[in-house]
C-alpha cells in the first residue's frame, strides 16, 4: 500500500504542476519589444488614448474613403531589386530648402500633441532636434513659437500657418523670423472638413492657443480662420517674409504650376491625410504628375499615408525630395513621449535603409523612378 500511495501522490503532484503551468500567466515581454512597426504604435494608441481623442486623430472627413486610399496607393507601387550590386552603408542625408537633414523624413504639423502626452509640443521639437530633422510647428499648437525655439534651439523649425481674417497670421510670421524659424508653410485650405459624429472635435482638444490671444482652439477656427482664400493672399505672405514659403495641400498639377509662378520655394503634395475633403485622389497618385508638371523648379515634398520606410522610399522614387509624417508621430508620442517618437523614426529609418540596400541605392540622391516597376 505504501508504494501505491507514493505513486498516487506523485501522480497528483504531476497533475497539479501541469495545471499550474498550463494556467500560469507567461511573463509578458517588454512593451517596447512588441512595437516593431508603425501599425503596432497605432494599435498601442488605440488601446491607451481616450476613444474620442483617438477617433479624432485617426479619423477623417465624410465616409473616410481617402485615408485608406492613401495607404492602399503605396501597396500598388512595386520596387525592383538589384542583385550583385554591393551596397552596405547608405547615406540618408538630404536637403530641405538648402538645409542638410540627417533623414529625408520630417514631422508634419498636427494637433493634439500636448493632450496625448504632457508637454507634447516641446517633446516633438526636442525629438526633431536630437534626430536633426525638420519639424513643422502648427499655428494652433499648444506651445508658443518662442517656447518651441527655446526648447530645441538647434533644430530646424518651420511654422505652419493658415490664412486668417485681417491678416492675423502676419504677426506669427514676424515672430517666427525673430525666433529663428527657417520657413513658413501655408496650408492651402480654408473651410474645415465635415466629420461624422464619432470623429468630431473632442472637448479635451479645445485648449488654449498660445500663439493667439484666444482661450480655445475652436474660437480661433470659428472666428479667425479665413474660409475664402486666394492667390493674392499667398502673394501677401510671400512679400511679407524674408523666409522661404512652402505651400502645403497641393494635389492639382495646375495649382502646382501656378504656385511656382507666384514664388513659392517648396510644395508639399498632400490631401491633409484625408482630413479636409473626402473622395480626392491619394497624394501618392498625384506626386509623379506634379513632379512632371514643375520639374526641379522648386523643392517637392510629400505627406499622407506613409506607414513604413518602404513607403518613404517609394515617395522619394516618385519625385519627392523629402516626406513628412503626422499620425505616426502622434502614435509614438502616446507610447513614450519624446522617446516614443524617436523609436518610430528608428523603425522607419531601418526599413528605408533595407529598401535602399536591396535596390542598390547608396544615397538618397540615387533613388529615382528607375527603381519602380513599370
Name the catalytic one among 157, 199, 272, 358. 272
* Of the candidates 326, 308, 330, 302, the residue with the CA atom closest to the CA atom of residue 39: 308
| H-run or E-run covering 322 | strand 322-325
* Of the candidates 200, 239, 205, 240, the residue with the CA atom closest to the CA atom of residue 219: 205
Q: Is 272 a catalytic residue?
A: yes
Strand partners, 159: 137, 184
Q: Distance between CA atoms of 199 and 275, rounded to whole angstroms?
A: 10
Residue 203 per-residue DSSP state: G
One DSSP character per residue, 240-292 reads H-SS-EEEEEE--HHHHHHHHHHT-SEEEE--GGGTS-TTPPPHHHHHHHHHH
Residue 190 per-residue DSSP state: -
Q: Distance between CA atoms of 259 and 232, rounded to whole angstroms?
A: 11
Give me the active site residues, please.
Answer: 272
Amino acid at each position: 500500500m505504501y508504494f501505491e500511495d507514493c505513486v498516487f501522490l506523485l501522480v497528483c503532484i504531476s497533475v497539479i504542476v501541469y495545471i499550474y503551468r498550463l494556467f500560469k500567466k507567461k511573463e509578458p515581454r517588454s512593451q517596447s519589444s512588441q512595437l516593431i512597426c508603425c501599425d503596432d504604435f497605432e494599435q498601442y494608441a488605440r488601446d491607451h488614448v481616450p476613444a474620442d481623442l483617438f477617433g479624432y486623430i485617426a479619423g477623417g472627413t465624410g465616409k473616410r474613403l481617402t485615408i485608406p486610399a492613401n495607404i492602399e496607393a503605396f501597396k500598388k507601387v512595386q520596387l525592383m531589386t538589384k542583385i550583385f550590386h554591393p551596397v552596405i552603408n547608405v547615406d540618408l542625408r538630404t536637403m530641405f530648402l538648402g538645409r542638410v537633414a540627417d533623414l529625408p523624413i520630417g514631422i508634419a504639423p498636427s494637433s493634439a500633441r500636448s493632450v496625448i502626452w504632457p508637454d507634447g509640443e516641446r517633446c516633438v521639437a526636442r525629438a526633431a532636434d536630437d534626430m536633426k530633422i525638420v519639424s513643422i510647428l502648427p499655428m494652433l499648437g499648444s506651445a508658443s513659437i518662442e517656447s518651441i525655439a527655446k526648447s530645441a534651439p538647434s533644430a530646424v523649425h518651420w511654422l505652419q500657418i493658415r490664412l486668417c481674417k485681417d491678416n492675423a497670421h502676419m504677426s506669427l510670421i514676424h515672430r517666427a523670423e525673430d525666433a529663428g524659424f527657417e520657413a513658413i508653410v501655408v496650408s492651402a485650405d480654408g473651410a474645415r472638413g465635415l466629420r461624422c459624429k464619432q470623429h468630431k472635435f473632442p472637448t479635451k482638444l479645445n485648449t488654449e492657443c498660445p500663439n493667439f490671444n484666444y482661450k480655445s482652439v475652436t474660437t480661433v477656427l470659428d472666428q479667425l480662420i479665413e474660409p475664402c482664400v486666394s492667390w493674392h493672399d499667398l502673394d501677401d505672405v510671400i512679400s511679407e517674409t524674408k523666409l522661404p514659403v512652402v505651400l502645403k495641400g497641393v494635389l492639382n498639377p495646375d495649382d502646382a504650376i501656378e504656385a511656382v509662378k507666384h514664388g513659392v520655394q517648396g510644395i508639399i503634395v498632400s490631401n491633409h491625410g484625408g482630413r479636409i475633403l473626402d473622395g480626392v485622389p491619394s497624394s501618392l497618385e498625384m506626386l509623379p504628375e506634379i513632379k512632371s508638371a514643375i520639374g526641379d523648379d522648386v523643392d517637392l515634398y510629400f505627406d499622407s499615408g506613409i506607414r513604413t520606410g518602404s513607403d518613404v522610399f517609394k515617395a522619394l522614387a516618385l519625385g519627392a525630395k523629402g516626406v513628412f509624417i503626422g499620425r505616426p508621430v502622434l502614435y509614438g508620442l502616446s507610447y513614450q513621449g519624446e522617446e516614443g517618437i524617436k523609436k518610430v523614426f528608428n523603425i522607419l529609418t531601418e526599413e528605408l535603409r533595407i529598401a535602399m540596400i536591396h535596390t542598390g541605392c547608396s544615397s538618397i540622391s540615387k533613388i529615382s523612378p528607375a527603381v519602380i516597376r513599370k
